[in-house]
Structure 1
Amino acid sequence: MRKTTQSLLIVVAFLFTTVIMAQSNLKGKILETGTNMPLPGANVVEKGTTNGTSTDFEGNFMLETESNSGQLVISYVGYETLTISFNGNADLGSITLTSDNSLEEIVITAGGVIDLAEDRKTPVAVSTIKSNEIREKAANWDLPELLKSTPSVQNIKAGGFGDGAMYLRGFDQTNTAFLLNGQPINGMEDGKMYWSNWSGVLDVANAVQVQRGLGASKLAISSVGGTVNVVTKTIDNKKGGFIQQMVANDNYTKTTAYYSTGVNEKGWSFAAMLGHWQGDGYVNYTDGQGQTYFLSVGYKPSDSHVLNFLVTGAPQWHAAAGSGSIGDFLENGRRYNSWNFSGVNSPNTLHGGNNVYPGGRNIYHKPVANLSWDWTINDKSSLSTVLYGSMGRGSFAQARTSGDEVTYARGSNNNHNWYGLVSNYNNQLSENFNLNLGADMRFYNGIHFRDVREFITVSSVSASSGYSGSYELTEAGGINPWSVFFNPNTDHGQRFGYDYEEQINYAGIFGQLEYANDAFSAFFQGALSTQSHVRTEFLNVSQLGQSEESEKVNNPGYNMKVGAAYEIAENHKLFANAGYYSRQPFHDVLFRNNRGSNELLKPEVENEKITGLEAGYQLGGYGFSANLNVYHTTWDNRTLLSDNGQQDAAYVGFQTQGVKQVHMGIELEVFTRPFDNLRLNGFLSLGDWKFVGNASQRSFNQDGNEIGTAVEVEIDGFNVGGAAQVTGGINADYMILPRFSVDGAWNWYNDMYSTGSLTQPTIAMPSYDTFDAGISYKMLLGTDSRQSLQLRFNLNNVFDEVYLESVDGNLAASSDSSQNYKGVNINNTGRFGYGRTWNFSLRYNF
């Protein structure tokens, strides 16, 4: 009996010891790589089980595992997931996670072409919006609104979907270079950006970087305000994706799905996204809808070569919002649409007459494709090349009437075919010297004409070419962006009003040499380019179907940049850069500003002259960092075109040459983390932007012949309008509980001036401020740390601030106070900003 009892005790002791030995008590601390700041709410899970915990506000965790050895999967939103092994009871100490929002962690193809600021040792004035912030705050915004909390940036919404604009250091977006994975995307003819064509770009963006002023770009481009780089998803190392549903004010809804296969054993990767959105619009009668598609195919045949093919597009249509006087908005409210006509021009105009499209419908589809090749030649040299192309097809459709009857929808079409190549060779010549050489080539064909988009109460329309007689229009091009793209109107006999094409070819070479040691760096950069212009007329010729070409214009250009930086102590760096651009004029200023003519304005427009000077101080440290920049930009010999609005023999065009602007200012950015669960950042921009000296203005008739003699235009001392010269903001992010946070952003705009006639002083606008807020919560699902459910709610303009966003006019304040709004004459054309808006999204990550 005693032996039996002893045996049972031994068995029980063995089983108890086995259970004890099969369990482990683990503890550790999760920190952010580099800053060693604790990460509260990080997820710690025993791999293959549902056993897990979260870190506290100090980043500490304790976990009792179900086995003696195994692996822990550690994850935190916005950071790379880390898997570590354990064996028995252990204090795992400090474990660091690297932000997957840092640009160094993004898989970037054609990295030598994209020109991110991190690629160069000598700094520039730069702000970077990373993937986590884009995911949470972009929502249904266009790109400019995402950037509004960075120094010297102002966003103007302008009424309808995608009709907004952006100013950078007081320069409009036609003079800011926008790049998509290294591919230039500003319009070749006039530099313009239409955000309705890029409504899905933020859905696939890994990062957006704003380089103010001279920037780090080596391309043969001459941006005045700066450069905005959009880096999209290309090759994802990890398998996974998401499905997201968003709803917002004014019946807005958006559905998006994305999936990536990750990189397989043979080096292939595939990623795709599809999205659909639609809504009524904040402004009355500005409905819209569109789709977004994205496909990326990556292939890495060896360690030396990486190939990636990408295609993305955002076909859309949206109804436009007309401009109106400030008095009209005061009488009818901020949602007022001056194109909500009654009577003859009733909004019952397009597609069934359902009272939806009052003034017109913008229809566009602009797919963009590029093929990139990264070749690591050896451990010191590499070559990055991007071959790209885009085919834009679209129209602005407006109803036309005869008496009291709406007859048809007229389309003003702006199509293009654009192909280009950008290549960059990088060589680490020595420990201290790095050399970049490259080429930038673009071939652009712009196609512009008017036609019938939709017959409403008639079956044909009579037209006249001006020189070749009358003919009949019997075909309609349609008002759907997909059909417009696949069935463009190529029949010159079905066009009227104007019908011309433009061929713009551009070729540039660039180079950069940089020296860097432990404390000092310096660079020199230069580019040479040539640009040719030809305009072909199809309509106003002797016989329909024939064409006439203009004279060919060739414009050479160049730019130079030089800079240096010195680290005066650890985390303290000073830098200074200077640059000079001789920039070719835009195509549109070379010809008479009246459609249907090949007449060059002679003498030909000379290159613009741009001089940039900037200096900065960068401070980095534990829980606190700051950037201070000063700049001085001179934009000289600028040419502006305008006309009297006539399209007949009474037409007078004005060409104003020798316009000079000087923009100077100071920018401060501060980033702090007062507590482990609080991030508090702020910025302040102080600008002084003015016209300097006077300009010379010439007048032309409809045949392009000069009328009279040039006159002096007195503009010296006028303020540059369009954007606030003084801006500031504070934004904060507070983690209430692990994976549950709130954030807010306050933005302030002051010293604003109107746009309008160049010959009259701009007028001062009232300052304003807005406050946006958001709430985020992430719920972990299942045993896979990547599975989660994210909820996000944004409330914009929380206090429903009423403010004048833009004014186009020069009418001084009236002596009758009832005719003024906060000191601005209400007979000026203007637009009020949006009131309170909201959006809510639910996102499943897998």
Structure 2
Amino acid sequence: MQKKLRLLTLLLGMSITASAQLHFSGKVLDDQNGKPLTDATVLLQARRTHADRTGPEGGFSFSGLPSGNYTLTVRYIGYRTITKTIVLDQDVSGYTVRLTHTGLFVKPVEISSLRAGKDAPFTRSELSAEDLKKDNLGQDIPYLLNQLPSVVTGSDAGAGVGYTSLWVRGTDASRINATINGIPMNDAESSAAIWVDLPDLISSTGSLQLQRGAGTSTNGAGAFGATLNLSTNEFHEKAYGEIDNSYGSFNTWKHTVKAGTGLLNNHFTVDARLSSITSDGYIDRATSDLKSFYTSFAYLNKKTSLRFNLFSGKEKTYQAWNGVPEDTLKAGNRTYNGLGLKPDGSYYENQTDNYLQTYYQLFLNQEINERWNFNVAAFLTRGKGYYEEYLPDESLSGYGIPDVMLPHDTIRQTDLVRDRWLDNYFYGTVFSLNHTGKGPDWNLGGGWNRYDGKHYGEVIWAKYGADKDFRYYYNMAHKYDFNLYWKGEQAIAGGLKAFLDIQYRSVQYNINGFDKNPDLVKRNHFDFFNPKAGLSYRLSPKDRLYASYAVAHKEPNRDDFEANTEKPPKAEQLQDLEAGYDRNGDAYRIHANVYYMSYRNQLVPTGRINDVGAFTRSNIPESYRLGLELSGTVRFARIFSAEANAAFSRNRIDHFTEYIDDYDEGGQKKVEHGETDIAFSPDVVAGFTFTATPLKNLDISVLGKYVSLRYLDNTSDKDRRSLDPYFVNTLRINYTWHLRWIKEIGLNLLVNNLFNTRYNTNGYTYSYIEDGALHTENSYFPQAGTNFLVGVSLGF
């Protein structure tokens, strides 16, 4: 393992060296008024593609270039893309590119008001559609983020299709705020973004930004580990079409067809996508059948854009959320799935999770003048689905069913099949008013939403006692969420900028009973004040320092209220201090940041699970995360490039008290542990991507990911309650042809887990005392050995 860490350190070190050859630099300006365009995309393509984004003065720069012919492409939102051929046989500086405005208001205001800007003092990573396409062969969104700093991913089915997990800085999906075009995506009750409900959304995503830490103010659930913003509201001036097909291990198939009209009658655009993903999964019977569509209709003129999005996802997955018991795993059966097991040794065929989720989004973006614009959006998210399961020997009384009296016997238990339903509406509005120009640049925004959710269960078959479709529980939940924020950025002097962000958020969450406790009614109200402030200082056009302080709060989720009936859970508070340094060199980039995240009443897993494999959590008075994150990229020796990142952290609970069920004497035994590690929080997460471009448009990459030991609970018990560290590698090959009669033919290959490493990405633990001894039972989620995905795409 030391050799592997030395390799990662070497790659990071390479980010400060580069072999200088030819230099090419210039500026991107508005053709009409000569103003510099900040954050324009500049691509320089020959054998390989070099990419840069313009700085505050519109500047771009490339070094280490071999002589020859290049294709220069410059893109900027609201302007016509320009493509031209240039010949480099000597250094070129002061090259000027002038872009012409389309005359249409196409800037996605709903995203710019939420995302951290180029000089905002927050830690972030960004991926473009081109970046995402390299890996988009059917695996879920978390897997496409796997190489970003401090990111850890996992899969119930073991191969990245179906239910997947995402952790950032050790925090799980319930603390990661996700928005699509600024619209909240997180489930209102669990607070988690459930990506399986929107399969292949990434094929309609133009860009995404992942902010680590508290981040800037956003809409929806509070961000405690990260904020993920996805944008699908991209403007395509010209008509296009694309067909993507891929196949891989475990009979995995992905089929995607998408097309767009381009600009019709100088005002209208229509974009559409249809997708299907199926897989047998690595784990036994962990099949996935995922379908989705995406449509977007837009009207554009000089100062107005009106857009309507309608997209939907339907998933049917065989349940694999119980993992593999430790004894079974040690016996060599890594693919065991006990869910659906019947007394005769067969398995119930429809032990599945089924859900349909549809998004309706309507946006109005309006420019008032050069300094002012605003955005208003309305949305409705409609979700309905159930999971079905076979259960043997269930107590009739647990379902409110009387015992069955026979002449010579009384039936108190029965085999049965039940469906547990969610039926919900989530709707509301978001808005922002934005000012740029003289004085500070600022945004005033916010949103209001309401969630109405039905929870009910039905016994659809029972060997004894119940009629078909007997409803054994029904309850409702309502949640209201309002937030208002103001954030501004002001240049002070000499490259120094100040940032201020103030948010008020009010949450009302009413729960009218639970399935196992229908009479428990909860009325919960929370008021949160979340201030954020920071400084950003540009030492030079290439160098930047930043520091920020942020406060964030988050309400408990439904499971927390259900699992803590005697002592209601408290809201969490986070104080996040961040500081970082960026350097964008001609042929390299480096980034370093430190953070200190101090929690009060953080909700952490206790090691116990409920009946669908979900963790229960309880408040911990004081805890913290202290970390260092490094990342770098470098181009060298004409055909090579490397990217690497490493995150080192200390994640601690100041004093942890464990409660263990005591089967001998009843009740629970209290165990004091003092300072311990926070569950699922690795001390080291690192990754690298090494790419060679031996031929034009051919990229051959080797990717690596290392995750250190993680604990299954908060006892820091390495021997009995932990996940072993792992280091896995991936081979990726991308090759593209450009022909006269077709825009693009692409070939993509992923060979995952190249060296057949045996590793687990997730698990859970439960301990109890019986016969005077402590017993610990663990289950794990093994990941597939060497497997592949290959894809072919046609672009028109």
TM-score (norm 2): 0.80
Shift of 1:341: 3.2
Shift of 1:270: 0.1
Give the counterpart of 1:510 among 485, 495, 520.
485
1:837 aligns with 2:787: yes
Shift of 1:212: 0.4
Shift of 1:754: 2.2
Does the CA contact (< 8 Å) of 2:442 and 2:488 recur in 1? Answer: yes
Shift of 1:663: 0.7
1:589 aligns with 2:560: yes
The equivalent residue for 2:550 is 579
Shift of 1:696: 9.8
Does the CA contact (< 8 Å) of 2:353 and 2:386 recur in 1? Answer: yes
Does the CA contact (< 8 Å) of 1:275 and 1:291 recur in 2? Answer: yes
1:796 aligns with 2:796: no
Does the CA contact (< 8 Å) of 2:199 and 2:277 recur in 1? Answer: no
| Cα distance between partner residues in 2 of 1:519 and 1:557 | 33
Give the counterpart of 2:438 among 431, 435, 447.
431
Alignment of 1:437-836 (within 5 A): 437-452=444-459, 462-463=465-466, 472-474=467-469, 494-496=470-472, 498-516=473-491, 519-537=495-513, 550=521, 552-591=523-562, 601=566, 605-639=569-603, 656-694=618-656, 714-755=672-713, 763-783=721-741, 787-809=743-765, 828-836=778-786
Alignment of 1:66-465 (within 5 A): 82=82, 109-112=108-111, 115-118=114-117, 121-159=119-157, 161-219=161-219, 221-300=221-300, 302-321=301-320, 322-339=322-339, 341=341, 343-344=343-344, 346-347=346-347, 349-350=348-349, 357=350, 360-400=351-391, 409-428=417-436, 431-452=438-459, 462-463=465-466
| Cα distance between partner residues in 2 of 1:33 and 1:284 | 56
| Cα distance between partner residues in 2 of 1:37 and 1:388 | 36
Which amino acid counterpart does residue 193 of structure 1 have in structure 2?
A: A
| Cα distance between partner residues in 2 of 1:807 and 1:646 | 14
Higher strand proportion, which one? Answer: 2
Q: Mark the CA change 1:555 to 1:589 in structure 2 (over 3 Å): closer, same or farther.
A: same
Q: Mark the CA change 1:631 to 1:244 in structure 2 (over 3 Å): closer, same or farther.
A: same
Q: Mark the CA change 1:677 to 1:346 in structure 2 (over 3 Å): closer, same or farther.
A: same
| Cα distance between partner residues in 1 of 2:536 and 2:73 | 37
Does the CA contact (< 8 Å) of 2:418 and 2:458 recur in 1? Answer: yes
| Cα distance between partner residues in 1 of 2:563 and 2:776 | 33
Q: Mark the CA change 1:551 to 1:245 in structure 2 (over 3 Å): closer, same or farther.
A: closer
The equivalent residue for 1:21 is none
Q: Point out the more displaced range, 677-686 or 548-557.
A: 548-557
| Cα distance between partner residues in 2 of 1:724 and 1:195 | 23
Q: Secondary structure at the match of 1:682?
A: strand
| Cα distance between partner residues in 2 of 1:513 and 1:676 | 42
Which amino acid counterpart does residue 755 of structure 2 have in structure 1?
A: F
Q: Mark the CA change 1:114 to 1:770 in structure 2 (over 3 Å): closer, same or farther.
A: farther
| Cα distance between partner residues in 2 of 1:764 and 1:179 | 32
| Cα distance between partner residues in 1 of 2:651 and 2:752 | 29
Shift of 1:154: 0.4
Q: Mark the CA change 1:558 to 1:715 in structure 2 (over 3 Å): closer, same or farther.
A: farther
Does the CA contact (< 8 Å) of 2:138 and 2:253 recur in 1? Answer: no
Which amino acid counterpart does residue 117 of structure 1 have in structure 2?
A: A
CA deviation vs aligned residue, 1:817-840 (integer Å, no higher than 9, x gap): xxxxxxxx9953222222111111
Does the CA contact (< 8 Å) of 1:659 and 1:694 recur in 2? Answer: no
| Cα distance between partner residues in 1 of 2:604 and 2:723 | 24
Which amino acid counterpart does residue 225 of structure 2 have in structure 1?
A: G
Q: Mark the CA change 1:363 to 1:571 in structure 2 (over 3 Å): closer, same or farther.
A: same
Alignment of 1:6-25 (within 5 A): none
Q: Mark the CA change 1:76 to 1:845 in structure 2 (over 3 Å): closer, same or farther.
A: farther
Question: What is the percentage of aligned positions where both structures have the same residue?
Answer: 18
Does the CA contact (< 8 Å) of 2:644 and 2:688 recur in 1? Answer: yes
Q: Mark the CA change 1:288 to 1:434 in structure 2 (over 3 Å): closer, same or farther.
A: same
Q: Secondary structure at the match of 1:473?
A: coil
Higher Cα Rg, which structure: 1
Does the CA contact (< 8 Å) of 1:304 and 1:376 recur in 2? Answer: yes
Does the CA contact (< 8 Å) of 1:533 and 1:587 recur in 2? Answer: no
Does the CA contact (< 8 Å) of 2:214 and 2:551 recur in 1? Answer: no
Q: Mark the CA change 1:778 to 1:319 in structure 2 (over 3 Å): closer, same or farther.
A: same
Does the CA contact (< 8 Å) of 2:343 and 2:392 recur in 1? Answer: no
Q: Mark the CA change 1:777 to 1:698 in structure 2 (over 3 Å): closer, same or farther.
A: closer
Shift of 1:677: 2.7
Shift of 1:552: 3.2
Shift of 1:284: 1.5
| Cα distance between partner residues in 2 of 1:59 and 1:432 | 45
* C-alpha RMSD of the superposition: 4.1
Q: Mark the CA change 1:441 to 1:59 in structure 2 (over 3 Å): closer, same or farther.
A: farther
Which amino acid counterpart does residue 307 of structure 2 have in structure 1?
A: N
Shift of 1:641: 8.3
| Cα distance between partner residues in 1 of 2:25 and 2:720 | 50
Q: Mark the CA change 1:756 to 1:216 in structure 2 (over 3 Å): closer, same or farther.
A: closer
Shift of 1:325: 2.0
CA deviation vs aligned residue, 1:590-628 (integer Å, no higher than 9, x gap): 4565xxxxxx756x5443221110100111110011110
Which amino acid counterpart does residue 748 of structure 2 have in structure 1?
A: R
Between the two proteins, the alignment pairs up a number of residues equal to: 705
Q: Mark the CA change 1:446 to 1:97 in structure 2 (over 3 Å): closer, same or farther.
A: farther
Which amino acid counterpart does residue 757 of structure 2 have in structure 1?
A: E
Which amino acid counterpart does residue 500 of structure 1 have in structure 2?
A: N
Q: Mark the CA change 1:33 to 1:276 in structure 2 (over 3 Å): closer, same or farther.
A: farther
Q: Point out the more displaced range, 204-213 or 548-557.
A: 548-557
Shift of 1:462: 4.5
Does the CA contact (< 8 Å) of 1:419 and 1:444 recur in 2? Answer: yes
Shift of 1:540: 9.4
Shift of 1:217: 3.5
| Cα distance between partner residues in 2 of 1:433 and 1:587 | 41
CA deviation vs aligned residue, 1:653-702 (integer Å, no higher than 9, x gap): 99844443211100001011113332211111101101113469899xxx
| Cα distance between partner residues in 2 of 1:266 and 1:611 | 49
Q: Mark the CA change 1:60 to 1:826 in structure 2 (over 3 Å): closer, same or farther.
A: farther
Which amino acid counterpart does residue 482 of structure 2 have in structure 1?
A: A
| Cα distance between partner residues in 1 of 2:719 and 2:677 | 7
Unaligned runs of at least 5 residues, structure 2: 1-21, 28-40, 50-63, 395-412, 769-774
Which amino acid counterpart does residue 420 of structure 2 have in structure 1?
A: S
Unaligned runs of at least 5 residues, structure 1: 1-28, 44-55, 63-72, 351-356, 464-471, 475-493, 542-546, 594-599, 648-652, 700-706, 813-824
The equivalent residue for 1:53 is none
Which amino acid counterpart does residue 313 of structure 1 have in structure 2?
A: S
| Cα distance between partner residues in 1 of 2:758 and 2:606 | 32
Which amino acid counterpart does residue 581 of structure 2 have in structure 1?
A: Y
| Cα distance between partner residues in 1 of 2:202 and 2:85 | 37
